[in-house]
């Protein structure tokens, strides 16, 4: 592990995260296009760099945003480490066709269950928190699922060098979103007050909705913005290109 690179990843992630969160949140979880930053570092420098850099970066950003270290350590650091470690791991792993198909099926299952079921089973909560008619919410969620899967399939077919990255992104985002949604709910059960970050405990019915928000506001930026940024880095610094990518190309 390169400590200096981890520090750069953490600093860039914290700054970009603070500048792009725009104060838009759902159940305390921010809109998060900055997810692309540690994803890029995870591909360029490996899973440990991406995971640790993201963990430190999100902690710094949280201190600048809400200043609650316990909340960050419980609901910010663990999901960020898991998410970007997985993206880095898959990006550097040797995945044969059978493993690729199994991973895509698993990722697709996680997305469909996590994104579509909340809108069907919890229409009242969804409408109350999102502020949109249930039909509109369903359309948005279906579009998110469809676009994510189409992008991964297109990447796997036409840009094979990004196949592992696409699969890792789907699984990493799913795991990270699941950890975050449960952790946020659990934290709110014990640490709430009229002056705190959570005024009242969150309902357990919001767990899948937090998953929806987290996944849907991160995966498009990672899948779409990640490959061009990584490719630009390879062109500028050819030594960063991993052996895994060389073999796939």
The total of other beta-carbon atoms located within 10 Å of residue 155's CB is 20
State the pLDDT at residue 241.
76
**What would you report as the CA-atom Rg of the chain, rounded to the nearest whole angstrom?**
18
Token pair recorded at residue 58: 């999100």
Chain-centroid distance, C-alpha 23: 18
Q: Model confidence over 150-186: pLDDT tens digits?
A: 766 676 666 677 888 888 888 898 889 889 989 999 9
Indicate yes or no: pTM above 0.85. no
The total of other beta-carbon atoms located within 10 Å of residue 194's CB is 6
Cα four-point dihedral sign 56, 178, 103, 150:
negative
Q: Model confidence over 11-48: pLDDT tens digits?
A: 999 999 988 877 677 667 777 889 999 999 999 999 99
Element (H, E) at 27: none
* Residue 61 pLDDT level (bands cut at 50, 70, 90): very high
Token pair recorded at residue 60: 């710094």
Per-residue b/e over 106-130, b at no fewer than 16 CB within 10 Å?
A: ebbebbeebbbebbeebeebbbebb
The total of other beta-carbon atoms located within 10 Å of residue 105's CB is 10
Whether the CB-CB separation of 113 and 212 falls below 8 Å is answered with no
Beta bridge partners of 26: 29
Closest CA to 220 of 156, 157, 150: 150
SS3 112: helix
- Give the separation between CA 204 and CA 219, rounded to whole angstroms: 24
Q: Model confidence over 187-237: pLDDT tens digits?
A: 999 998 877 788 889 887 778 778 877 887 888 889 889 999 999 999 998
- Give the separation between CA 62 and CA 144, rounded to whole angstroms: 27
Token pair recorded at residue 210: 């937090």
Closest CA to 176 of 77, 102, 89, 101: 77
């Amino acid at each position: 592990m390169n400590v200096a690179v981890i520090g750069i990843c953490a600093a860039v992630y914290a700054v970009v995260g603070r500048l792009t969160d725009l104060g838009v949140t759902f159940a305390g979880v921010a809109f998060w296009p900055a997810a692309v930053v540690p994803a890029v570092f995870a591909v360029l420098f490996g899973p440990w760099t991406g995971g640790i850099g993201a963990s430190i970066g999100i902690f710094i950003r949280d201190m600048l945003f809400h200043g609650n270290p316990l909340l960050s350590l419980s609901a910010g650091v663990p999901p960020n480490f898991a998410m970007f470690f997985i993206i880095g791991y898959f990006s550097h792993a040797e995945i044969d066709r059978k493993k690729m198909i199994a991973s895509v099926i698993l990722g697709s299952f996680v997305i469909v269950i996590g994104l579509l079921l909340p809108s069907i089973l919890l229409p009242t909560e969804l409408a109350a928190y999102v502020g949109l008619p249930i039909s509109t919410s369903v359309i948005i969620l279906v579009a998110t699922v469809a676009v994510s899967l189409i992008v991964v399939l297109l990447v796997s077919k036409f840009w094979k060098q990004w196949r592992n990255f696409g699969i890792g992104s789907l699984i990493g985002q799913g795991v990270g979103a699941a950890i975050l949604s449960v952790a946020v709910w659990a934290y709110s059960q014990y640490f709430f007050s009229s002056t705190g970050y959570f005024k009242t405990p969150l309902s357990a019915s919001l767990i899948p909705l937090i998953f929806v928000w987290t996944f849907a506001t991160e995966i498009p930026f990672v899948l779409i913005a990640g490959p061009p940024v990584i490719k630009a880095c390879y062109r500028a610094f050819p030594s960063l290109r991993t052996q895994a990518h060389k073999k796939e190309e």
